[in-house]
Amino acid sequence: MSDDALGEASEAAQRRRLPPVLEWLQDGWWACSAPLGFFAHLAARDHGRPVPALGTAAAAWVAALSVAALAFVRATESEGYVVILGLAAVAIGPLFVLVSVLGGLMLLGPGGMGGRAWEVIGWSWAPAGALALAVLPMVPLFPTVASALAVLTFPIWHLSLIGAGVAAFGNRHRVRTVLIYALVVFLVPGSVATLALLAALGAA
148-202 residue pLDDT tens: 999 889 989 999 999 999 888 866 677 888 888 888 787 766 555 555 555 555 5
Determine the structural domain holding residue 164 and report its residue range: 17-203
d(CA 56, CA 126): 6
Among the listed residues 107, 111, 194, the one whose alpha carbon sits nearest the alpha carbon of residue 151: 194
Angle at 61 between CA 52 and CA 191, to 5 degrees: 125
SS3 content of the chain, % helix, strand, coil (to 5): 85, 0, 15
Is the residue at 12 inside a domain? no
End-to-end CA distance of the chain: 71
In a domain, residue 3? The reply is no
Q: Mean pLDDT, the chain, as a whole number?
A: 80
The count of domains in the chain is 1
pTM listed for this prediction: 0.79
Higher pLDDT, 17 or 175: 175
49 found inside a domain: yes
Residue 98 within any structural domain of the chain: yes
Residue 1 domain flag: no
Helices 35-43, 20-33: axis angle to 10 degrees equals 120
Could you tell me if residue 149 is inside a domain?
yes
Return the top range by mean pLDDT from 8-22, 40-54, 101-115, 120-134: 120-134
Residue 4, in any domain of the structure: no
> Is residue 171 a part of any domain in this protein?
yes
